Amino acid sequence: MEFKFFNTSLTNESILVISMFESEKIENILTIKFIDNLDNLNSIIKQVNQVVSTEAFQAKTAKILSVPLYGLTDLKKIIIYGLGDKTKINNTTYRKFGANLARLCFNKHLNLAVLVQTETINNSLNIQTFTEGFILSSYKFEKYKQIKEEKQSKTQLISFYGDFEPGSNLVESTNIGLTIASAVNMAKNLINEPAINMTPVIFADYAQDLALKSNLNIEILTVKEMKELNMNCILAVGQGSKNEPRFVVLRYQGENTKMNYGLAGKGITFDSGGLSLKPPLSMEYMKYDMSGAAIVLAVMQIVAWFKPKFCVTAVMPLAENMPGGNALRPGDVIKSMSGKTIEVNNTDAEGRLVLADALYYLQKLGVSEIIDIATLTGGVLTALGRASCGVMSNNQDLCNRINSISNLAGEKVWQLPLFEEYKEGLKSDIADLKNAGSRGEAATSSAASFLQEFVNDIPWLHFDIANVGWSDKDKEEITKGPTAYGARLIAYYLIDQNKN
């Protein structure tokens, strides 16, 4: 897809797309906003007003009106997109604009001339988030379909028109949007793969390819090497499967070696629950249980592109949780990499086990702070529904920074507590910890409290995306299936940190 920018008169394009606020009149936009040289302008205004009146159209948020021009000019039609109340516009407005426009263009070879409103948001950010939304909502996974669905935008050219700020680097803005959205879609591709084609070894191979293409340093630990490092939690989770676990370490080396951001993503390539077997309906989508690892991989792809001045180290513990003859049993005790012993009272609470070793390993590497992301608990759905993911942290400053950037990224977070009382439920009679707390009580916070035992005093934040990692429908920039929720937010956070 090609993007172009103009700040003068329109050239002949297939479709003119006008964004407008509720308070505006269409004739003012058509006569003032750089398109006053359209042939038969008065006739076009009359036609547009007639359709607007007939349809009782108001430019409320995300409302769309298509106006045919019947040969009044070279343009085929005008599409009017409602931005809503000018005073309530926010950083996600243009992301949703791009997403909804892409859906309108499904299966259509259209060239779009987009008239961008610039009164309330920075021009560059408008363009960046519009591009993100357009690419994200155009996503489709049809690798295994013999007959492809015609539900993907085939738009080849988008031209932006507006009163752009002097010095705005609009090309860079589209590149940022493209880079972020493309990385998110890459993660969705990995999550969409059937578990038979996305084993720990296969995932590690994908990471290897990305490292080579992106000039990242990579290390892939095998079972033998994990045994030498006493990564017994990861090994225990994977021991019931014929597919061996792996541990991927990706490193980006910036100039400032004193600041090293650590990322960890849960990589359970399929979660049957192990011997604590899930019911069939709960198991259906469990190929998505490696979303955290795919998201971290996507973030590293973005990091390799924008080249921050600091370092970033990402780890992905990869295992398949299966009920084989050698599977981990309820009642077993594992000695973690940190030395703490864990009594396993639920083999379906396996994500926190692999993250326990991953978090401790990151600290051994000397990172400055840690963010982990995982489809960890069903309890987060009960707590928050599908409106927001849950975040928990031992450092309020880090949590505040993530929260402040979430609106810009368009991915909501809600902080849940880490009360000392939750640790009571993790006490074991025979080991240092149990891997699952009191049944039915604060499951999400309890799981995060378990993880906190392996991060000591380093600033750490945990994303639980089990409730938002999969969508049952298309909505704006979210497409049906895996969402890779959190990839944009972590990427935006690191980009923002690079400005400091």
Query: What are the catalytic residues?
Result: 278, 352
CA-angle at 463, arms to 290 and 280, nearest 5°: 45
Q: At what angle do helices 291-306 and 200-214 cross, to 10 degrees?
A: 10
User: Residue 478's beta-bridge partner residues?
Assistant: 475
SS (H, E, C) the chain: CEEEEECCCCCCCCEEEEEEECCCCHHHHHHHCCCCCCCCHHHHHHHHHHHHHHCCCCCCCCCEEEEECCCCCCCCEEEEEEEECHHHCCCCHHHHHHHHHHHHCECCCCEEEEECCCCCCCHHHHHHHHHHHHHHHCCCCCCCCCCCCCCCECCCEEEEECCCCCCCCHHHHHHHHHHHHHHHHHHHHHHHCCHHHCCHHHHHHHHHHHHHHHCCEEEEECHHHHHHCCCHHHHHHHCCCCCCCEEEEEEECCCEEEEEEEEEECEEEEECCCCCCCCHHHHCCHHHHHHHHHHHHHHHHHHHHHCCCEEEEEEEEEEEECCCCCCCCCCCEEECCCCCEEECCCCCCCHHHHHHHHHHHHHHCCCCEEEEEECCCCHHHHHHCCCCEEEEECCHHHHHHHHHHHHHHCCCEEECCCCHHHHHHHCCCCCCEECCCCCCCCHHHHHHHHHHCCCCCCCEEEEECCCCCEECCCECCECCEECCCCHHHHHHHHHHHHHC
Please say whether the beta carbons of 375 and 467 come within 8 A. Answer: no
Q: Are the C-beta atoms of residues 274 and 348 closer than 8 Å to each other?
A: yes
Distance CA 23, CA 85 (A): 7
CB 446 within 8 A of CB 432: no
Cα–Cα distances in angstroms (integers) from residue 239 to residues 50, 204, 249, 269, 494, in the given order: 69, 18, 21, 14, 35
